[in-house]
């Protein structure tokens, strides 16, 4: 199954490709953007190799990364959203997001994550989706909460403490029914 594209009121969300690699690298070079995420952000070769691996990986049917662009200026890369096995290994399936600083505080992460979460539960029929978030990352915690994900358990990522948020398909269905 190829990754679908999504459109919201303000955003175009399309499968990430190698065309997006330079935009991803530029975004990750902002230390505020990657402050809570361990990675090879300061090593140019390792960073490019990491991104290439993530862009070219087959995470399974309907799973992967999407690039986020504003409808009003479709050439402007706002960031990405993912739905992949946790830490690219699994078994849990994780939703995550990263946005350029210029896109912060506008509700884009929540808006982009909603159709991806619907895809996870309605199309892929996943039972549960998680989001592992660094405890100090208040903005990402707010996005998770707005999406209806609830704190589930502490976890670690590259030997750093993270909090895991999750949502089940039944909780997603109940949220949809309430709307």
pLDDT per residue over 79-122, tens digit each? 999 999 998 888 999 999 999 999 999 999 999 999 999 999 99
The predicted pLDDT at position 177 comes to 84
Residue 130: count of CB within 10 angstroms of its CB: 20
Q: 120 with 6: CB under 8 angstroms?
A: no
Give the N- to C-terminal CA distance of the chain in Å, as an integer: 29
pLDDT digits (tens, 9 = 90+) for 121-169: 999 999 999 999 988 899 999 999 999 999 987 777 667 777 889 999 9
The pLDDT assigned to 158 comes to 67
pTM (2 decimals)? 0.92
Q: What is the pLDDT of residues 23-78, one digit of tens each?
A: 999 999 999 999 998 899 999 999 999 999 999 999 999 999 999 999 998 789 99
pLDDT at position 162 is 79
List of domains in the chain: 6-178 (3.40.630.30)
Residue 166 three-state SS: strand
């Amino acid at each position: 199954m190829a990754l679908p594209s999504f459109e919201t009121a303000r955003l175009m969300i399309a499968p990430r490709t190698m065309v997006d690699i330079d935009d991803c690298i530029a975004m990750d070079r902002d230390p505020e953007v990657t402050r809570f995420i361990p990675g090879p952000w300061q090593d140019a070769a390792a960073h490019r190799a990491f991104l290439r691996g993530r862009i070219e990986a087959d995470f399974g049917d309907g799973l992967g990364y999407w690039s986020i662009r504003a409808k009003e200026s479709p050439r402007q890369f706002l960031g990405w959203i993912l739905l992949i096995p946790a830490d690219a290994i699994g078994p849990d399936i994780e939703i995550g997001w990263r946005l350029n600083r210029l896109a912060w505080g506008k509700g884009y992460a929540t808006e982009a994550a909603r159709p991806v979460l619907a895809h996870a539960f309605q199309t892929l029929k996943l039972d549960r989706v998680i989001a592992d978030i660094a405890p100090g990352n208040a903005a990402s915690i707010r996005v998770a909460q707005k999406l209806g994900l609830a704190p589930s358990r502490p976890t670690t990522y590259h030997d750093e403490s993270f909090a895991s948020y999750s949502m089940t398909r039944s909780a997603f269905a109940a949220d949809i029914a309430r709307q």
